[in-house]
Structure 1
């Protein structure tokens, strides 16, 4: 029998199934930054916190007042791991002190200079700021997928950057032709 190479989900979305019991991930849409045999890392992109960029900058550079526009830049709960660490998804057209290029012209920056650049109006013009991340140990995400905890969906810049956060989960499901409201909250295997 021919062995199949593992399927990794880097640069895809994970849609939490309606029966997801873990409150950390219930009703979440997660962008998968990295997925290998060693595990996976993602950022939840539909959970705005009661923080904005001005609040974050007040901690990072209290000596400088932030632009009033910073009060309208939301910060998202990226996941339950390292919730004091920042991650910014943005177009790969700009690089910062700690930037990793992903796929399809997307990049991830983890240094404060990206936040300062956004606050000072120098860009990037499209971004999603998260505190914390979601992480899975080796084989953990694969086991959750086998238990029908998640649907996978191809990445869409439109969903990430142009869709209001409260509509992103349904937009990703619709991208697959799925209406989450019609799915059972009970999981099962035949």
Structure 2
């Protein structure tokens, strides 16, 4: 399975990147990244979606931010989104919530950075599904293309059932299954005939 540059110039934002099964670095092994922005000239920004943070809990985090929670508040999960600005929160969510600082990544998925979304989630009238990421990942122009050509990452279309799933341990294998590939059957080497 290889990737050509032509594959990347069309719609990488809104896709999943899955680390290669051969990645052994603890920072990237079995990692799934949701791509929020992609430009060959400006680089790539994404959020790791399968590194669950158990503490603080959503309720504890809201309390730390001075946001009161209600018993009926919409629950969301927290993930370590990446090494860049890891004290800064980014919320991926369904498009049924509108805020001033929300941007569309796809027609169904938005990205918000405002505390307003957390307030609305705490009051039970935020988006129907949400994932809060602390931090994000960046690639400089050309860096991701090189990593893809070296088979360090594989691309899969985003599925909301994976993106918002609270079973974080299965997200990586579920992404591979979504492209009908068993990660254990991928060859370390690829070539052209």
Q: CA RMSD in A?
A: 2.3
Going from structure 1 to structure 2, the CA distance change for 1:131 and 1:87 (only over 3 Å counts) comes to same
Counterpart CA distance in 1 for 2:75 and 2:96 is 23
SS of match in other structure, 1:142: helix
In the alignment, which of 148, 151, 154 is matched to residue 151 of structure 1? Answer: 154
2:189 maps to 188
* Residues 42 and 135, structure 1, Cα contact 8 Å, conserved in 2: yes
CA separation in 1, counterparts of 2:81 and 2:6?
32
Measured after TM superposition, the shift of residue 59 of structure 1 is 2.2
Gaps of 5+ in 2: none
Label 1:57 to 1:32 Cα distance change in 2 as closer, same or farther (>3 A).
same
1:79-90 aligned within 5 A: 79-90=82-93
The corresponding residue for 2:59 is 54
Q: TM-score, normalised by structure 2?
A: 0.85
Preserved CA contact (<8 Å) 1:53 1:70: no
User: Of 133, 137, 149, which residue of structure 2 is paired with 1:134?
Assistant: 137
Once the two structures are overlaid, the 10-residue window that deviates more, 5-14 or 169-178, is: 5-14
1:43 to 29, 43, 47: 47
Paired residues of 2:74 and 2:126 also in contact (CA < 8 A):
no
Partner of 2:19: 16
Q: CA deviation at 1:142?
A: 0.6
CA 1:97 to 1:12, structure 2 compared with 1: closer, same or farther past 3 Å?
same
2:180 corresponds in structure 1 to 177
Moved more, 80-89 or 156-165: 156-165
Q: Which runs of 5+ in 1 are unaligned?
A: none
Q: Measure how far apart 1:5 and its partner are.
A: 8.6
Number of residue pairs the alignment of both structures matches: 184
| Alignment-derived partner of residue 9 in structure 2 | 7
* Superposed displacement of residue 175, structure 1: 0.8
Write the distance in 1 (CA, Å) between the matches of 2:31 and 2:77: 17
Given that 2:52 and 2:78 are in contact with CA atoms closer than 8 Å, whether structure 1 keeps it comes out as yes
**Equivalent residues in 2 for 1:85-124 (5 A)?**
85-124=88-127
Distance 1:77 1:32 in 2: 15
Cα offset for 1:65?
A: 4.2
**How much has 1:50 moved relative to structure 2?**
2.3
- Contact residue 54 and residue 70 of structure 1 kept, 8 A: no
